[in-house]
Amino acid sequence: MSATIRLTMAQALVRYLCNQFTVVDGAKVPLFPGVFAIFGHGNVTCLSEALEAVKDTLPTWRGQNEQSMALAAIGFAKAKRRRQIMVAATSIGPGALNMVTAAGVAHSNRLPVLLLSGDTFINRRPDPVMQQVEHFGDPTINVNDAFKAVTRYWDRIVHPEQIISSLPQAVGVLLDPADCGPAFIALPQDVQEMAWDYPEVFFEPVVHRTPRARPDRDRLGEAVNMLRQAKRPLIISGGGVRYSGAEKALADFAQKRGIPLAETIAGKGAVTHDHPAHVGPIGIVGSTSANALAGEADVILAIGTRLMDFTTGSWTAFSPAAKFISINAARWDATKHRALAVVGDALETVEELEAALDDWKAPEAWTAKGVSEFAAWNDMLDGFQKPTNDPIPTYAQVVGVVNAKAGARDLLITAAGGLPGEVMKNWRVKDPNTFDCEFGFSCMGYEIAAGWGAAMADPTRTPIVMIGDGTYMMMNSDIYSTVLSGHKIILIVCDNGGYAVINRLQNAKGTPGFNNLIKDCRVKEPFSVDFAKHAEAMGALTRLVESLADLGQAVEWAKSNDRTTVITLVSDAFTWTPGDAWWDVGVPATSERKEVREAHDAQIAGRQRQRVGV
């Protein structure tokens, strides 16, 4: 018989995690470098005991909110480009449910995070326990079943031996380029305490290397033929390019072949803003340059993107005759929208595509058009960002000042509200992989937590987090986390008096301001929060600025500080950078308001331009 070691299930789980490794930039590093945890009913007596014993090997960081600590784990994974994975652990009941939103973020964005939740008793002897939600017709269901909708892997351990098969499967999903996403394991509290004779071989160190799937030769050949016939090819660079490490290969390929390169939201930052082939962001929060080229392109080479509506302009951004080649590690994403599906790793596929194209290049006139369109777009950006005498600055002006003061390696983070569109257009990336806009789920509250995780992932650079006042009010407690743990971020809070960008959409579709800006809500009187004083109370250094000149000086001051710094300013709620594509949203088919009826008619007209049969 093989040698065994007697451990509780919780102890065995933690020991297994401690013995998983990966290779990053040639160095062997822990696959799981840390745990975010809030201990409570269901995990404080067993899982915490196991984690305390290895606190110097597998550090545990205490969050302030279960959702935000899981978001911090996701921000860490993005900063590491999916090469290392954090764990988020919570108690049963409300603690677990708080992580469901974060699981949705990871699932939508194809990002790895291991979620461990306490669970009720398998023996049911003390049922119902505190925080247990009972289903009268099915006693096997509790709140942890909610994670099934938003995880790639889900399991409940009902016997201590089961982790021997479950944990390797969870790790396999977390590392799979095609199926990557959150893995969830429910840990019933009576099973956590059970001891079992585990085989010692289960705890042998394992060094994981992410697999790279090569494309099918026949599909690659078809893609080569399509490109050779293209007169107006366009590359759409998605997040998969960055996670594959294909940034340089794609940048060189686009430049050598003369193909204009546009970016998705997740893909922004694979190339620098001034790369010769770069033509800007595409889609609803895109540039006039990329969108103009998309409307004329005859072959679109989509790499590592799931082609969501914000990229495709709800499928109105392209000519009906345009053909798609989709390179993606995930078959699900590659086969969307009548594309020629080339299933494979982005780096491997781009390199093989480059080798197969011999001396082919896109027509010079098309390449030149990309350069011309992007030059015009840059001139427009200069105009949008130019300071004026208006007392309240626009988002474009604010982003321009912060961008100018940011170091080449400083990481910009945002997620929801008006800032994603403004930074997509106005933030000029100076160094690859320095931009994180979470817009797959557009989760308000991601930003500060992700800044904490990103600062933890790479202490040699400073995350610059930009948010609106609405997001600050929704989730700000990880300012305190960054102060406690010593992971510095710079937070820019743009106070425009409420949910300004959704107010913009509401107004654009015919409904007057209602329940979005504070002044349009059912309140006794409008009131402005002093965000600087609030953040100061959590230990941050703070400054309230009143002009663009003051903002620039404040950013320089923030960069010189040794801890988290929060800068706040009032910003314009009604001025936005143009360049948007069309977006399909529901608009009432009938209304007493003429403006709503007209907006509905315009929406119906817009739908006539959508590609069909996709």
Look up the CATH number of the domain holding residue 361.
3.40.50.1220
Residues 344 and 435 in one domain: no
Residues 350, 254 within the same domain: yes
* Domain annotation covers residue 364: yes
Q: How far apart are the first and last CA of the chain?
A: 57
The pLDDT tens digits of the residues spanning 247-300 come to 999 999 999 999 999 999 999 999 999 999 999 999 999 999 999 999 999 999
Per-residue CA distances from 549 to 219, 464, 496 (Å): 55, 18, 19
Q: What is the pTM of this model?
A: 0.96
Query: Residue 413 pairs with which residues in a beta bridge?
Result: 436, 465
User: What is the reported pLDDT for 612?
Assistant: 78
The residue out of 376, 396, 430 marking a domain boundary is: 376
Residue 288: give the domain boundaries: 217-376
Q: Is residue 610 part of a domain?
A: no
HSE toward the beta carbon, residue 494, CA cutoff 13 A: 30
Return d(Cα 463, Cα 591) in angstroms, integer. 46
User: What is the pLDDT at residue 378?
Assistant: 98
185 and 239, same domain (yes or no): no
Q: Which helix (H) or strand (E) holds 604?
A: helix 594-607
In a domain, 67, yes or no: yes
Do 408 and 361 belong together in one domain?
Answer: no
Q: Is the peptide bond before 387 cis (omega within 30 degrees of 0)?
A: no
pLDDT confidence tier of residue 460, bands split at 50, 70 and 90: very high
| Residue finishing a domain among 164, 180, 208 | 208
Total domain count, the chain? 3
**Residue 602 lies inside a defined structural domain of this protein:** no
Contacts of 225 (CB under 8 A, 6+ apart): none
The predicted structure's pLDDT at residue 576: 95
Angle (CA) 241-244-451 rounded to 5° is 80
Query: What is the model's pLDDT at position 611?
Result: 87
CA angle 193, 194, 198 (to 5 degrees): 120
Q: How far is CA 588 from CA 309, 543, 592, 600, in A?
A: 20, 44, 10, 6
Output the pLDDT for position 609: 93
Domain CATH code at residue 503: 3.40.50.970
Distance (Å, whole) CA 186 – CA 164: 15
Same domain, 300 and 337: yes
